[in-house]
Amino acid sequence: MKLRFTKMHGIGNDFVVIDCRAQPLALSAAQIARLGDRHFGIGFDQLLTIEKPTDAACAFGYGIWNSDGTKAGQCGNGVRCVAAWLRRAGALGAGTTRLHSPSGPVTVELLDDGDVRVDMGVPRFAPVDVPLDLPAADPYRLRVADSDIEFGAVSMGNPHALVEVANVATAPLDSLGAALSTHACFPEACNVGFAQIVDRARIRLRVWERGAGATLACGSGACAAVAVLRRRGKLDPGVAVELPGGTLQIQWQGEGAPVWMRCPAQFVFEGDIEA
């Protein structure tokens, strides 16, 4: 079966986008994982499908699959790519619209300068919402991979753990990030961020994504980092989040308010592949 795809990225967080408005995606988890392989397939952090909406209040829907074939609930860089793809296809114009993600409706704003602004929703900190099988605390304390660690936890439509570090360049992403991501206290696994505060308006961040591993950027991870650290009183409402692939602009006014994220989305190439 031949599939037409578009390769895109949001500050290095890369995607394959497939138009499924006419018919649903007919790929197994194993087939998606094969396409996601960077040596034997196309290579991507996530696969995104453009779909008809299941919510009448939304213009379109989209699906998200990690590179190992597992489903994801939200992807901040991904929704910007979905919106940019729809704009280029002539399906969306400038301004605000609603898209339906696997975790619910998302408001996106297509700006005149090419950037996409996304309402990532209200952060949810209750353990049952993350989900996290620990009593509510901030920070949480846990022994992981022979280390005693402290972390914050939040849901941004997908589960996140956030570890504050003095130097993000030396953070144990591959060891501690991977171990905490699959720890039994996170029944659905989680994305793990390591954040270094530069000042009240700027942080540096690296993220280990569940189902994908270390990535150059993670939009929901940037929102989660700002939410956890601002809730602790360490950040201002507007924060530049510097990731290995580039910088995201995050705005959060505080408890009960949605997190807004702004950045461009980039087209890379298009093609057909045998699935």
Domains located in the chain, CATH noted = 2-119+264-274 (3.10.310.10), 127-257 (3.10.310.10)
Contact assessment for residue 190 and residue 159, using Cβ atoms and an 8 Å cutoff: yes
pLDDT at 114: 86
Whether the CA torsion 46, 48, 127, 163 is positive or negative: it is positive
pLDDT at 144: 94
Q: How many C-beta atoms surround the C-beta of residue 274 within 10 A?
A: 7
Rounded to whole angstroms, the Cα distance separating 40 from 63 reads 23
pLDDT along the chain (275 residues), means of 10: 93 96 94 95 96 94 96 93 96 94 94 93 97 98 93 97 97 94 97 98 97 93 98 98 97 96 95 87
Residue 257 CB contacts under 8 Å (≥ 6 apart), including other chains: 122
pLDDT at 145: 86
pLDDT at 117: 95
Contact assessment for residue 74 and residue 82, using Cβ atoms and an 8 Å cutoff: no
Rounded to whole angstroms, the Cα distance separating 263 from 275 reads 31
Task: Return the active site residues.
Answer: 75, 218
Contact assessment for residue 229 and residue 241, using Cβ atoms and an 8 Å cutoff: no
pLDDT at 1: 76
pLDDT at 208: 97
Residue 43 CB contacts under 8 Å (≥ 6 apart), including other chains: 14, 36, 37, 67
Task: Give burial (CB, 10 Å; 0-12/13-18/19+) of 258.
Answer: middle
